Amino acid sequence: MALTHITFCQVGFTKNGCSVPAPDGETAVSAGITPSGSNQQSAAGTLPMARVATDTAVYVAIGASPDATTATGRFFMPANTVEYFQIEIGNKVAVVTI
């Protein structure tokens, strides 16, 4: 079964006095979406970055109520890829299969 995994996180943080250019795993919030031919939305993001990992080719859209089937600003993600998106807190990530 196909899966697109979305993790809302902070990227870049200070730990033990050092700047770390990586996702902060201690505050991350994540969930999986089973992509299909219809628009599927995540819950609202609680942090300013969204890490999207997918094992199937999908279009991704981001917004208050995004529709990955019709959004002009959607992104194509090939199968087996990971991408980070800066988002407004409260926005959602939507996916749809190709």
pLDDT tens digits, 2-21: 999 999 998 887 778 888 77
Query: CA dist 93 to 17, 42, 52, 65, Å?
Result: 33, 5, 9, 8
53 is written with which tokens? Answer: 């990992």
Q: Which domain does 36 fall in, by range?
A: 4-97
**Number of domain units in the chain:** 1
The model's pLDDT over 23-76, given as tens digits with 9 standing for 90+, comes to 877 889 999 999 999 999 999 999 999 999 999 999 999 999 999 999 999 999
The model's pLDDT over 82-92, given as tens digits with 9 standing for 90+, comes to 999 999 999 99
